[in-house]
């Protein structure tokens, strides 16, 4: 990378590109925004992709009714699993084809959105998802029209170009990404997150916060993702506690939805780090909720990384977190650890894993090292480092975390 310019107290700016083609619609009630955006796409048949839990809230039915009222024919696939697989993708794609849907509307968290994103890519490019996951088949065509309606404030998948899907025949979960895979439209209405229970609000919110933190402290930062990441962190610090304590607090819900949006854009451009690498390894064995796993890992990864975060970045982080700018890395670690604790989320693996848990932790460490984001971590990571962090997480008392 060629260094081109320096800007006063900011880091030197390397060459960079920033691409985010998704149209973002904020604040309009979903039942009004979806028909309007589908009409703007010029299609009269759509497939709604959602999950069984969300289907019980009535939101997909309400969107369906609004679309039908607008003269749009609607098919529904409401069976996406919490950890979507290539079978989920194949099912959604098949229904989209048989119903001749001109667009897919995903309503849900990252699972529904990633399933729809993967299906939309296949509809345009052909073949099976595994061809792209394992054989490196190139993606050459813009995805089938696809509208994302997030109902959690966490994954940021509505503004990322990656879909993470499990292949039942492989233990390792590998994402597929392409700038041709961005959603065409993201519809964000904080009201739809009011029904999210406290523990999911907290876990998904920590995921959003970690996206911003890892994007800001990684090796591929750029000035635009920095802006987004810092504002995401500020909003998450302000909103996470109140949104978890009182789900009907619309200001807090709005803060968290923006935090997730900005965090998603930042990490899509600037990458992630050790928390997500370890989360990938751990979740492939323990099948934990992604955000919950991130919360468990965060204090340990922070402690490992803090010495490698550049001083100017540490000062800006301290400022955004509401600490004195010269508070130092340990205070940043302590503050974020305390935030996780205050949300009643577990730290470490001590409360999750017992003597009967049959996991090969050497495999988990090796799989964490296969995650691409490990190379974006501010401090160089080895498999021995991953193993040592897992060991500390298993004993939970190490590092004084619990």
Is there binding between residue 207 and Fe ion (CB under 5 A)?
A: yes
Burial of 338 (0-12, 13-18, 19+ CB in 10 A): exposed
What phi and psi values does residue 14 have, to the nearest 5 degrees? -85, 170
**Can you tell me the distance from the alpha carbon of 49 to that of 78, in angstroms, rounded to the nearest whole number?**
6
Name the segment binding Fe ion (CB under 5 A); options: 92-100, 115-123, 160-168, 206-214.
Answer: 206-214
Please report, to the nearest 10 degrees, the dihedral formed by the alpha carbons of residues 266, 285, 308, 155 taken in order. Answer: 10
Name the segment binding Fe ion (CB under 5 A); options: 52-60, 132-140, 204-212, 250-258.
Answer: 204-212
Three-state SS at 166: strand
Name the segment binding Fe ion (CB under 5 A); options: 121-129, 172-180, 200-208, 337-345.
Answer: 200-208
Decide whether 260 or 318 has the Cβ nearer to Fe ion: 260
Q: How far is the CB of 207 from Fe ion (least distance, A)?
A: 4
Q: How many residues bind Fe ion (CB under 5 A)?
A: 1
Chain residue at closest Cβ approach to Fe ion:
207
Q: How far is the CB of 61 from Fe ion (least distance, A)?
A: 29
Contacts of 15-19 with C-beta under 8 Å, sequence gap 24+, read 16/222, 16/223, 16/224, 18/222, 18/224, 18/225, 18/269, 19/179, 19/269
Decide whether 295 or 386 has the Cβ nearer to Fe ion: 295
Q: How far is the CB of 211 from Fe ion (least distance, A)?
A: 6
Instruction: With CA atoms as reference, report the closest residue to 159 among 119, 188, 139.
Output: 188
Where are the alpha helices (H) located in 165-222, listed in sequence order? Answer: 198-217
Q: Which of residues 8-67 bind Fe ion (CB under 5 A)?
A: none
Q: How far is the CB of 340 from Fe ion (least distance, A)?
A: 15
Q: How far is the CB of 226 from Fe ion (least distance, A)?
A: 19
Contact by Cβ (8 Å): 105, 147:
yes
Decide whether 102 or 110 has the Cβ nearer to Fe ion: 110
Decide whether 215 or 237 has the Cβ nearer to Fe ion: 215
Is there binding between residue 158 and Fe ion (CB under 5 A)?
A: no
Q: How far is the CB of 173 from Fe ion (least distance, A)?
A: 12
Three-state SS at 164: strand
Is there binding between residue 114 and Fe ion (CB under 5 A)?
A: no
Is there binding between residue 268 and Fe ion (CB under 5 A)?
A: no
Give me the residue label for tokens 């996206």.
211
Decide whether 207 or 268 has the Cβ nearer to Fe ion: 207
Q: How far is the CB of 117 from Fe ion (least distance, A)?
A: 15
**Can you tell me the distance from the alpha carbon of 277 to that of 386, in angstroms, rounded to the nearest whole number?**
9
**Can you tell me the distance from the alpha carbon of 299 to that of 336, in angstroms, rounded to the nearest whole number?**
7
Decide whether 189 or 207 has the Cβ nearer to Fe ion: 207
Is there binding between residue 167 and Fe ion (CB under 5 A)?
A: no
Q: Which of residues 291-310 bind Fe ion (CB under 5 A)?
A: none
**Can you tell me the distance from the alpha carbon of 162 to that of 175, in angstroms, rounded to the nearest whole number?**
6
Decide whether 272 or 320 has the Cβ nearer to Fe ion: 272
Residue 349 CB coordination number (10 Å): 25
Kindly give, in sequence order, each residue whose CB lies less than 8 Å from that of residue 78, ignoring residues fewer than 6 positions away. 48, 50, 51, 52, 54, 55, 60
Q: How far is the CB of 30 from Fe ion (least distance, A)?
A: 23
Decide whether 114 or 207 has the Cβ nearer to Fe ion: 207
Q: Which residues bind Fe ion (CB under 5 A)?
A: 207
């Amino acid at each position: 990378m060629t260094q081109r310019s320096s800007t006063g107290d900011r880091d030197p700016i390397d060459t960079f590109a920033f691409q985010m083609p998704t149209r973002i619609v904020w604040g309009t009630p979903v039942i009004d925004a979806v028909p309007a955006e589908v009409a703007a796409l010029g299609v009269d048949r759509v497939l709604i992709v959602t999950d069984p839990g969300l289907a019980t809230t009535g939101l997909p039915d309400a969107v369906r009714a609004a679309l039908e009222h607008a003269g749009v024919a609607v098919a529904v696939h409401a069976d996406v699993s919490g950890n979507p697989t290539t079978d989920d993708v194949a099912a959604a794609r098949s229904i989209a084809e048989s119903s001749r849907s001109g667009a897919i509307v995903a309503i849900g968290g990252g699972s529904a959105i990633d399933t729809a994103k993967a299906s939309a890519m296949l509809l345009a490019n052909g073949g099976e998802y595994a061809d792209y996951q394992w054989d490196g088949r190139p993606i050459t065509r813009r995805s089938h029209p696809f509208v994302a309606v997030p109902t959690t404030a966490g994954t940021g998948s509505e503004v990322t170009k990656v879909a993470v899907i499990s292949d039942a025949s492989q233990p390792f979960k590998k994402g597929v990404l392409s700038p041709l895979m961005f959603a065409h439209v993201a519809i964000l209405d904080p009201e739809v997150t009011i029904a999210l229970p406290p523990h999911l609000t907290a876990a998904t919110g920590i995921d959003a916060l970690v996206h911003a933190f890892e994007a800001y402290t990684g090796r591929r930062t750029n000035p635009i993702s920095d802006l987004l990441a810092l504002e995401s962190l500020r909003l998450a610090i302000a909103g996470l506690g109140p949104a978890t304590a009182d789900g009907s607090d619309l200001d807090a819900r709005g803060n968290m939805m923006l935090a997730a949006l900005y965090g998603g854009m930042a990490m899509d451009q600037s990458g992630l780090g050790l928390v997500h690498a370890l989360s990938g390894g751990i979740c492939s064995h323990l099948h934990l909720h992604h955000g919950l796993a991130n919360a468990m890992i965060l204090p340990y990864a922070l402690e490992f990384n803090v010495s490698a975060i550049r001083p100017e970045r540490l000062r800006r982080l301290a400022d955004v977190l509401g600490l004195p700018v010269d508070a130092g890395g340990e205070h940043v670690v302590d503050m974020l650890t305390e935030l996780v604790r205050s949300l009643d989320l577990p730290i470490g693996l001590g409360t999750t894993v017992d003597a009967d848990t049959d996991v090969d932790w050497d495999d988990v460490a090796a799989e964490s090292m296969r995650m691409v984001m490990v190379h974006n971590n501010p401090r160089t990571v080895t498999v021995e480092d991953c193993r040592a962090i897992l060991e500390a997480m298993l004993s939970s008392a190490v590092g004084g975390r619990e």
